[in-house]
């Protein structure tokens, strides 16, 4: 029995003693890792910021389309001869509806939606024809 135990433990190595001053990372190694990480993470943060701006711009454009289509359908539902020029505001979207007579019994209804985007005015136009029949 004693032989089995000594054989079992005899094959193991003893852990080497760590020399003083060799454990852990040096300040230069840590600084290099931070520089590499910052160079890698900074472009990702810039891309994220630009993507958020693009999503906000697309959201405003979608809202403008929805407002213009809603107003166009509302005006068309009034029927030929009852549609008049109107304007209004839905949230941050301003809209203007204009009716022009093209021919006898045919009107062109145009809804123009405008909104602010980074200091510039964006415009979206939806147009449709309404007939007497």
Domain that holds residue 60: 28-131
Map residue 30 onto helix, strand or coil.
helix
Is position 17 within any domain? no
3 domain residue, yes or no:
no
72 inside domain: yes
In a domain, 93, yes or no: yes
Whole-prediction pTM? 0.67
Closest CA to 107 of 73, 84, 74: 84
Whether residue 5 is contained in a domain is answered as no
- Please work out, in degrees rounded to the nearest 5, the angle formed at the alpha carbon of residue 69 by the alpha carbons of 63 and 71: 100
pLDDT at 48: 93
Mean pLDDT for 6-17 is: 58
pLDDT tens-digit series, residues 36-65: 988 888 889 999 999 999 999 999 999 999
Q: Is residue 113, in this structure, part of any structural domain at all? A: yes
Question: What pLDDT is recorded for position 132?
Answer: 84
In whole angstroms, what is the distance from residue 94 CA to residue 99 CA?
17
Q: 81 pLDDT exceeds 70?
A: yes
Structural domain includes residue 41 = yes
- Residues 92-128: tens digit of each pLDDT: 999 999 999 999 999 999 999 999 988 899 999 999 9
Distance CA 130, CA 105 (A): 8
CA-to-CA distance for 61 and 74, rounded, in angstroms? Answer: 20
User: Average of pLDDT values for 15-43?
Assistant: 81
Asked if the structure places residue 21 within a domain, the reply is no
Query: Based on the structure, what is the number of domains in the chain?
Result: 1
């Amino acid at each position: 029995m004693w032989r089995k135990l000594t054989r079992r433990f005899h094959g193991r190595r003893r852990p080497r003693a760590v020399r003083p001053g060799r454990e852990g990372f040096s300040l230069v190694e840590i600084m290099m890792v931070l520089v590499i990480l910052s160079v890698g993470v900074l472009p990702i943060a810039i891309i994220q910021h630009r993507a958020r701006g693009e999503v906000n711009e697309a959201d405003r454009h979608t809202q403008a389309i929805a407002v213009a289509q809603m107003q166009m359908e509302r005006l068309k539902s009034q029927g030929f001869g009852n549609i008049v020029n109107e304007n209004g505001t839905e949230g941050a979207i301003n809209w203007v509806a204009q009716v022009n007579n093209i021919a006898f019994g045919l009107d062109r209804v145009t809804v123009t939606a405008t909104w602010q985007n980074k200091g510039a005015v964006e415009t979206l136009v939806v147009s449709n024809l309404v007939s007497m029949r």
